[in-house]
């Protein structure tokens, strides 16, 4: 069938996959097994009895599994609106908008809100979802050195000197998922105020873990007219989707102009009910947060002597460098019963392949100590 035009088009894809194999970068799906040191289910809510009760209760009162249409057609369910109202109260924002994923939320924000003539200044290590939105944006974009507020200010001053007159947008994560370090939000807020910029904070890995009642590292900034936060529901909240907490005018603009929101089937109403249940669990007590912080501190004591980088968070990367060695060590740990995954470029910078060790409430001190022993042997 393809003879007239040369080789089968599938060979183009095969060549690219072969090149990934040669570079040690071909990705494959691996089933979850062994002790969890890889997931983002930090509070172990995904399989918790409390969350299951919330889902069963929602089913019993007739909440549907699927929405059946976009929110602007027939897919807008009362559960979506209840979640958005409760989330806004919980986080202290003027309002909230529920998306089907954090990727959709970040890409919608940055492809929709910055206008022609604006400038986006983003941390060099922001998530691929933000980069996708930036790629689609009408505004210009510049990268700033990781976690260096002065670099953001310098880029903004340079843009103004060059004649930039639009609105600046500063894009950061509060807790970086591959490094485990925390953004200097106070200084970044000061810069946003000075330059009359919007500050977009991705709270994906901080929501549920930090802040009073799990309100995140940006807690207290919601409600400010120039702050937008993204709170992923598929990590510490144990569910799925993402909440954009923002001023009402931003929500209305996303509903009217945000293509990922307008043209997507609405998130599951049942999942919205699940997120509501997760927020209630957070609000009812700090036990899980404190337990996780204690476990993370114990893990730091065990793993830092082996080379793990510890920033006082639940994410402890161990930089190996070489791709093949990274994946070999990860495989040894998996074979020993510890689900640790290797992270390679382009997810992380060149020559910084690493083990991303994630601490969750699915493990205890004994298991962490056993991981440290197995890691010591694998590194030897």
**Higher-confidence position of 2 and 140:** 140
- In a 3-state reduction of DSSP, which class is residue 339? strand
163: left (phi over 0), alpha (psi -120 to 50) or beta: left
Query: What number is the average pLDDT over the span 138-149?
Result: 97
Identify the pLDDT of residue 7: 64
Identify the pLDDT of residue 62: 96
Identify the pLDDT of residue 168: 98
Q: What is the largest CA-CA distance in the chain?
A: 68
pLDDT per residue as tens digits for the range 10-61: 888 888 888 888 877 788 878 788 999 999 999 999 999 999 999 999 999 9
Identify the pLDDT of residue 120: 98
Count of Cβ atoms closer than 10 Å to residue 380 Cβ: 5
Q: Label residue 380 by pLDDT band (50, 70, 90).
A: confident
In this structure, what token pair is assigned to residue 100? 């089907």
Domains and CATH numbers, the chain: 33-45+286-379 (3.90.1150.10), 63-283 (3.40.640.10)
Contact by Cβ (8 Å): 169, 118: yes
Q: How far apart are CA 366 and CA 369, in angstroms?
A: 5
Q: How far apart are CA 157 and CA 168, in angstroms?
A: 11
Count of Cβ atoms closer than 10 Å to residue 244 Cβ: 28
How many angstroms from the chain centroid is the CA of residue 363?
A: 22
Identify the pLDDT of residue 311: 96
- In a 3-state reduction of DSSP, which class is residue 139? coil
Identify the pLDDT of residue 107: 95
1 pLDDT more than 80: no
Contacts of 286 (CB under 8 A, 6+ apart): 213, 214
Q: Please give the backbone phi and psi of residue 231, each rounded to the nearest 5 degrees, phi first.
A: -120, 105
In this structure, of 18-32, 121-135, 240-254, 320-334, the range with the lowest mean pLDDT score is: 18-32
* DSSP state, residue 26: -
Q: How far apart are CA 370 and CA 366, in angstroms?
A: 6
pLDDT per residue as tens digits for the range 244-295: 999 999 999 999 999 999 999 999 999 999 999 999 999 886 689 999 999 9
Percentage of the residues of the chain whose pLDDT score is greater than 90: 89
């Amino acid at each position: 069938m393809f003879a007239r035009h040369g080789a089968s088009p599938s060979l183009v894809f095969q060549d690219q996959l072969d090149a990934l194999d040669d570079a040690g970068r071909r990705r494959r799906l691996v089933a979850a097994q062994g002790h969890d040191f890889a997931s983002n289910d930090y509070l172990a809510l995904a399989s918790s009895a409390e969350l299951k009760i919330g889902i069963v209760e929602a089913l019993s009162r007739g909440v549907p599994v699927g929405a059946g249409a976009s929110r602007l057609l027939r897919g807008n369910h009362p559960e979506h609106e209840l979640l958005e109202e409760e989330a806004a109260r919980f986080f202290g924002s003027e309002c909230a908008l529920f998306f089907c994923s954090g990727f959709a939320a970040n890409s919608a924000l940055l492809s929709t809100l910055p206008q022609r003539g604006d400038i986006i200044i983003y941390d060099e290590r922001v998530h691929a979802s933000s980069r996708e939105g930036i790629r689609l944006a009408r505004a210009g974009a510049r990268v700033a050195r990781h976690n260096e507020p002065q670099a953001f200010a310098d880029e903004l001053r340079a843009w103004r000197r060059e004649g930039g007159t639009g609105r600046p947008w500063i894009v950061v994560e509060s807790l970086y998922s591959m490094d485990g370090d925390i953004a200097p939000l106070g200084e970044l807020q000061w810069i946003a105020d000075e330059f009359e910029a919007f500050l977009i904070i991705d709270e994906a890995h901080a929501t549920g873990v930090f802040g009073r009642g799990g309100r995140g590292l940006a807690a207290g900034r919601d409600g400010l007219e120039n702050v937008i936060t993204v709170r992923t529901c598929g990590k510490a909240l144990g569910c799925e989707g993402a909440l954009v907490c923002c001023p009402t005018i931003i929500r209305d603009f996303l509903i009217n102009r945000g293509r990922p929101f307008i043209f997507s089937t609405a998130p599951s109403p049942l999942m919205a009910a699940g997120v509501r249940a997760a927020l209630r669990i957070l609000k009812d007590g700090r036990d899980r947060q404190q337990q996780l912080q204690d476990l993370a501190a114990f893990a730091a004591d065990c793993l830092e002597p082996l080379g793990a980088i510890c920033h006082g968070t639940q994410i402890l990367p161990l930089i190996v460098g070489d791709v093949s060695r990274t994946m070999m060590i990860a495989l040894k740990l998996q074979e020993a019963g510890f689900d640790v995954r290797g992270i390679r470029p382009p997810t992380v910078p060149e020559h910084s392949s690493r083990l991303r060790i994630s601490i969750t409430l699915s493990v205890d001190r004994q298991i962490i100590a056993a991981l440290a022993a197995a890691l010591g042997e694998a590194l030897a």
